[in-house]
Structure 1
């Protein structure tokens, strides 16, 4: 998988409107007695999110594990197919703006060791683009389903499980963790340069690494970091941000090195919801992670990729899969593609003579956009024109 196919983010913060899920029945959640053995396998989407299977009222469904969502969000498509009654009239804050939401009652939601009886789910349109995949998912599993328990995410083994709060299944570095009172999402804090940034949303649904506000970046006073531009995709649209790699940052007891940081524009999503930024799965996947807000701690055990320089684009093209072609979503500032005149919206049907297939995201072909500097890549546009691009480091 190429990290640069698309990096997605999807965050919903539920408001206190009449149709808000906050005013609806919560249901009763229990864990099985053998919770330690109830691992849930997941796969990373091209957008770097954790996709897995579960059941909603006995119907199989696909889901994204998203601790940056206040209330779990069901797709309108699934609700219609299941003939669920949806109450409407609310809205929520998401990356890119506001989205309309509804609410539907459910009898049972189950995955791994968890069963929730009763309660319900927020309902919204969940586009495939928000997961960086050709296929949309049915549910964003949010804070309301997981906060009472310890969430153990084993990225190396592509699995997670829910345990009773207070369990310590492994040792690592401790960082503070809680659920914010206002937005009802997982939050922690980060020390970046000269700045202590808090609250930082701990967001497994955000495929990027670390995201901070423009004010937070200015307060950090980090010099000498080369930057470019990138895009994030949320439920409400697209946002362009600045991106660079910082030498180090601290998160509680942990000092992390070679960390990719995005800087949102002034007035961006984090600023809108009075947050200092987000800690996404692009960062968390370098560790085994325990999220236990009831015990007020996050445990991070470094994996094999911790502190290694992150994969970075050498082409300057961010592309998304559109069936049998790649669509240029963003041309990064200062990169080879910008200098060669590429523009967003162009489509690529072949790379070095190989056509784009449905399994492109998992194929070796997908690594071209972040391959070694100096490589010459032949890209055939879908209008038949062929271009050449010489890869290089530019940030």
Structure 2
């Protein structure tokens, strides 16, 4: 909770007919693992080849059609054509972003090759990954949906297999690609209430996101809550945040799940879904996504039953070079009680300077420290404040 966990998702956007290309798998695709790292926003970041050029990408099963960043060196502006708008997360949940279209010759990921087809072109800010650097692409359903996708989070690798393969044993949950939205979808059960459809979204860094209506059905109002902020292609969204005692995904029961609740009329309601299952939950499992076989398979990893990290500071911050900018002050937290405001900047923590490697450094753990700990925060204007940590949700 000390890092921004952004959300990026496009619903089905209008695409030129017949331009998804032809996808093939190599005979040895099972042996062709693709290495990845997790961004500070819990997203799968890797390198692929697009038209013989290496590009960085996020594996995003919540995207209907793969997206190329307009600022990427691979996006030749003279070849991009306007292609309407797509629905995106942010700006209150139902924002629309302008998109273009770029025909491509060849895309390769591990043992998968797609010839022909094309990609949507849109702005992909760095904030979309919670990292200081933007990526070139979001790889979505149009590339991976016809295969089985085996994600080995523990070893930071994934591979693409023929649909129907079952490379490991685990709990099974339903999975399909919706005919209208064209994304991966499953269901979840909370307090005996089945919620469907739930988008299975590896590009969403949070664990579980619910529409306002789904949250009411699940009885979230009975739990302690606070607020959090997310960023998508259409802007920022403030959501309610709670810890659910248990969520069932098919045969798998997941304990202590961090859940975000969108405001009424938010993104999920706009596109007609109950919510999203994100990488913040999936990363604690080995995951097989095989919509062709109708199943998601979950094998618990060593962190599957670990409690989620909770903010004890009530400050959500983003890194801007050598400083932290306050993005959100969580409702009911110690920072709110002390009068902190969004936009304030922090340059030192317990007399240590903020550096560019902050997101992966031990220093970043201050905001989830033990209740009762007093933290000295040096603002960039030279003033120093002391914040005493406590549990508040």
- So what's the TM-score if we normalise by structure 1? 0.96
Q: 1:129 aligns with which of 114, 118, 127?
A: 127
Q: Helix, strand or coil for the counterpart of 1:337?
A: helix
Deviates more, 1:107-116 or 1:201-210: 107-116
> Contact 1:24/1:120 (CA < 8 Å) preserved in 2?
no
Q: How far is the alpha carbon of 1:84 from its aligned partner?
A: 5.5
Give the structure 2 partner of residue 172 of structure 1: 170
Provide the rounded CA distance (Å) in 2 between the counterparts of 1:135 and 1:162.
26
What is the number of residues matched between the two proteins?
Answer: 389
Unaligned stretches of 5+ residues in structure 2: none
Q: Secondary structure at the match of 2:245?
A: strand
| Per-residue deviation, residues 175-214 of structure 1 (Å, max 9, x unmatched) | 0000011100000000111421100000000000011111
Q: CA contact under 8 A between 2:211 and 2:274: conserved in structure 1? A: yes
Aligned to 2:322: 324
What is the alpha-carbon distance in structure 1 between the residues aligned to residue 16 and residue 338 of structure 2?
50
Q: CA deviation at 1:274?
A: 0.2
The answer to whether 1:380 aligns with 2:374 is: no
Runs of at least 5 residues in structure 1 that lack an aligned partner in the other structure: none
Equivalent residue for 1:245, pick from 232, 243, 254: 243
| Moved segments of 4+, more than 6 Å | none
Alignment of structure 1 residues 143-222 onto 2, 5 Å: 143-222=141-220
In the alignment, which of 44, 50, 55 is matched to residue 44 of structure 2?
Answer: 50
In structure 1, the partner of 2:67 is: 73
Structure 1 residue 83: deviation in Å?
A: 5.3
Aligned pairs for 1:110-121 (under 5 A) are 110-121=108-119
- Post-superposition Cα deviations, 1:271-328, rounded to whole Å, max 9, x if no partner, equal 0000000000000011100000000000000111112210110100000111111111
Residue of structure 2 equivalent to 1:309: 307
Q: Who is 1:272 aligned against?
A: 270
Contact 2:106 2:113 in 1 (8 A): yes
**Equivalent in the alignment of 1:92:** 86
Tell me, yes or no, if the aligned pair for 2:49 and 2:55 is still in contact at 8 Å.
yes
Q: Supply the distance in 2 between the matched residues of 1:146 and 1:84 (Cα, whole angstroms).
A: 28
Q: Does 1:33 align with 2:31?
A: no
Alpha-carbon spacing, 1:139–1:80, altered in 2? closer, same or farther (3 Å): closer
Distance 1:252 1:189 in 2: 8
1:370 equivalent in structure 2 = 368
Secondary structure of 1:12's counterpart equals coil
Q: What's the secondary structure of 2:240's corresponding residue? A: strand
Q: Distance in 2 between matches of 1:155 and 1:25?
A: 31
Is the counterpart of residue 61 in structure 1 residue 49 in structure 2? no
Deviations 1:312-353 (CA, angstroms, capped at 9, x unpaired): 101000001111111111000000100011011111111111
**Residue 327 of structure 2: SS of its match in structure 1?**
strand
Deviations 1:55-80 (A, max 9, x none): 11011110000000000000001157
Using the TM superposition, give the Cα deviation of residue 23 of structure 1 relative to its aligned residue in structure 2, in angstroms.
2.2
Deviating more after overlay: 88-97 vs 178-187: 88-97
Distance 1:22 1:257, change over 3 A: farther
Instruction: Note the C-alpha offset of 1:26.
Output: 1.7
The alpha-carbon distance between structure 1 residues 81 and 290, as it changes in their structure 2 partners (threshold 3 A), is: closer
* Pair 1:355 & 2:353 matched: yes
- Per the alignment, in what secondary structure is the counterpart of residue 13 of structure 1? coil
DSSP 3-state at the match of 1:294: helix
Q: 66-75 or 374-383: which moved more?
A: 374-383
Contact 2:68 2:75 in 1 (8 A): no
